[in-house]
Amino acid sequence: MIKVRPAADRGQADRGWLHSRFTFSFAEYHDPDHMGFRALRVINEDRVAPGKGFGPHAHRDMEILTYVIEGSLLHRDSTGAQHTIRPNEIQIMSAGNGVVHSEFNASTTDPVHFFQIWILPADEDLRPGYQQIGFDPAEKEGGLRLLAAPWIKNGQCVTIHQNAFVYAAQLKSGRELTHVLDANRYSWVQMTKGSASVNSQLMQEGDGAAISEERELRIAGAPSGCEFLLFDLP
Amino acid sequence: MTAMTPVNVLVIFASRSGRTETLALAAAVGAVQARANIRLRRLPGSLASASHNEILARMQREYVPPASADAIWADAVIIAVDGKLAGVSMDSEGATAYGRQAAAATRPPML
């Protein structure tokens, strides 16, 4: 079963310097029918004006992934981490028993466009942590590039405190890929650029899809191509 | 009122070099560890020495000054000035322990 969450139906906030689209309930946007999917709690698509951002605020018991589409984002947190995240990188902050962090557009001239994803950890009160890796964009072309997993695979992804796997992929026109879901596994596909079909179900840019009781996903890029994130969830 | 109602902890600090900011952040983390909601507010108007201009500019960008709405929101207030937290010199670990204890000792709000 594939249930599409159309981009236009998402919650939204517009504060001038910040344009946000909320796939699931977040902050002032609350819809009891859209509180998350399995361990996935938040998918926010944010566009932040040059030099603007979110001042220091707290998180607890959440695995927070940041994936930049365009621009650069400066992250500082109370674990002492300070990094700039750019496209073709993945950052995870494990909030654990408490972390305070800020995020600002690292550029004073260009906007930043990114997705922020919250996944519930398997355990509470973990030690806070921070990881960031980069990868060659060719690695996501035509196939799934693993970004996050419960364990480090060849040192090439970040670890997440949940039995969840996060992938990125880019498909040019006519390209197709498949992903096999084990029994009792679920998936969410988030289209970040362009459009595609997932088991013949059409998805446009910004759409999400909750996938249950499917054993194989066949994803085919539209003529204009596509990029997406795929979550393999317990 | 339930035992799970989180308390609201307001952390106000004055900082030019970032040293007192570090204490304030550590105290805020402690409050979060005690499952409190937090707000961090920086007192404006501190003059920077030339060597701290970059840090000051960052803090001016990242923080807003305290407002009356923050005081109304808060169940507890922690103040850090001149490299001291609540008037006491301590390191970050001590500040986190202080924030944790302050939040845990605060009576949850009546709802």
Instruction: Give the tens place of pLDDT for each residue, A112-157.
Output: 999 999 999 999 999 999 999 999 999 999 999 999 999 876 668 9
> Cβ contacts (< 8 Å) between B64 and chain A: which residues?
55
Q: Does residue B111 belong to any structural domain of this protein? A: no
Inter-chain touch B28–A99, beta carbons under 8 Å: no
Query: What DSSP assignment string belongs to A106-157?
Result: S-SSS-EEEEEEEE--SSSSPPPEEEEEE--GGGGBTS-EEEEESS-STT-S
State residue B3's pLDDT score.
54
Inter-chain touch B29–A102, beta carbons under 8 Å: no
CB distance from B78 to chain A under 8 Å? Answer: no
Reported confidence tier of residue A158, pLDDT bands at 50, 70, 90: very high
Pick B32's closest partner by Cβ from A53, A58, A104. A58
Instruction: Compute the half-sphere exposure of residue A24: CA atoms within 13 Å on the CB side of its CA.
Output: 19
Q: Which residues contact A210 (CB under 8 A, 6 or more apart)?
A: A2, A3, A5, A37, A186, A188
> Cβ contacts (< 8 Å) between B35 and chain A: which residues?
60
Residue-range definition of the domain harbouring residue A154:
2-233
Q: Which residues contact B49 (CB under 8 A, 6 or more apart)?
A: B16, B17
Q: Does residue B1 belong to any structural domain of this protein? A: no
E-state strands within chain B? 8-13, 37-42, 76-81, 84-85, 88-89
State residue A80's pLDDT score.
82
CATH code for the domain of B97: 3.40.50.360
Q: How many Å apart are CA A180 and CA A90, to the nearest integer?
A: 23
> Cβ contacts (< 8 Å) between A78 and chain B: which residues?
25-26, 28-29
Inter-chain touch A58–B61, beta carbons under 8 Å: no
Q: Radius of gyration (Cα) for chain B, nearest Å?
A: 14
Inter-axis angle of helices B92-105 and B19-33, nearest 10: 40
Site of tokens 């207030």: B77
The answer to whether A219 touches A172, Cβ cutoff 8 Å, is no
Residue-range definition of the domain harbouring residue B72:
8-105
Q: Give yes or no for residue A101 having a pLDDT over 80.
A: yes
Inter-chain touch B28–A100, beta carbons under 8 Å: yes
- Count CB atoms within 10 A of the CB of residue A169: 24
Size of the A and B interface in Cβ pairs below 8 Å: 44
CATH code for the domain of A67: 2.60.120.10
Q: pLDDT per position in chain B (111 positions), as tens?
A: 445 689 999 999 999 889 999 999 999 999 999 999 999 999 987 565 556 688 888 999 999 999 999 999 999 999 999 999 999 999 999 999 999 999 999 987 666
According to DSSP, residue A27 is labeled T
Q: Does residue B46 belong to any structural domain of this protein? A: yes
Q: Which residues contact A61 (CB under 8 A, 6 or more apart)?
A: A95, A96, A97, A120, A121, A124, A125, A126
Pick A78's closest partner by Cβ from B26, B35, B63. B26
Count of domains observed in chain B: 1
CB distance from B24 to chain A under 8 Å? Answer: no
Q: How many Å apart are CA A186 and CA A179, to the nearest integer?
A: 12
ipTM over 0.85 threshold? yes
Residue ranges of chain A whose CB lies within 8 Å of a chain B CB: 51, 53, 55-60, 78, 97-100, 102, 104
> In this predicted model, what pLDDT tens digit does every residue of A27-72 receive, in sequence order?
999 999 999 999 999 999 999 999 999 999 999 999 999 999 999 9
The answer to whether A209 touches A155, Cβ cutoff 8 Å, is no
Count of domains observed in chain A: 1
C-alpha A217 chain-centroid distance: 19
Distance from CA of B10 to the nearest CA of A (A): 12
Q: How many Å apart are CA A117 and CA A234, to the nearest integer?
A: 16
Distance from CA of B1 to the nearest CA of A (A): 22
